[in-house]
């Protein structure tokens, strides 16, 4: 049985629906795909910074049943989660 299926359904949903790195990459690609040449490196950095700020604003949301998920995470990963719960 794969490792993914040993977690409860709530944690599995959290794991497979919050792939932030791919989501972040998608947001940056969406912003830069129409532009093939940037006049300066600073212009590219400014565009990526603004896209990042927009993404951060959109990603601050509420996770349903977070208390239950946090409990399950602390059981499965006590060394990683426990230090932040103190």
Structural domain count of the chain: 1
Provide the CB-side half-sphere exposure for 74 (13 A, CA). 11
pTM above 0.75, yes or no: no
Average pLDDT of the segment spanning 75-83: 84
Domain with 50 in it: 9-81
Q: Is residue 56 part of a domain?
A: yes
Res. 17 pLDDT band, cuts 50 70 90: low
Residue 19 in any domain: the answer is yes
Confirm whether 1 is domain-assigned. no
pLDDT digits (tens, 9 = 90+) for 25-69: 888 888 888 877 888 889 889 999 998 888 877 776 677 778 888
pLDDT over 80 at 20, yes or no: no
Mean pLDDT (whole number) for 60-79: 81
- Is residue 3, in this structure, part of any structural domain at all? no
Q: How far apart are CA 63 and CA 60, in angstroms?
A: 10
């Amino acid at each position: 049985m794969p490792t993914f299926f040993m977690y409860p359904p709530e944690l599995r949903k959290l794991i497979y629906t919050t792939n932030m790195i791919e989501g972040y990459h998608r947001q940056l690609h969406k912003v830069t795909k129409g532009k093939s040449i940037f006049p300066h490196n600073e212009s590219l950095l400014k565009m990526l910074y603004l896209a990042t700020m927009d993404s951060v604003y959109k990603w601050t949301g509420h996770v349903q049943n977070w208390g239950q998920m946090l409990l399950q995470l602390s059981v499965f990963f006590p060394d990683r989660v426990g230090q932040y719960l103190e």
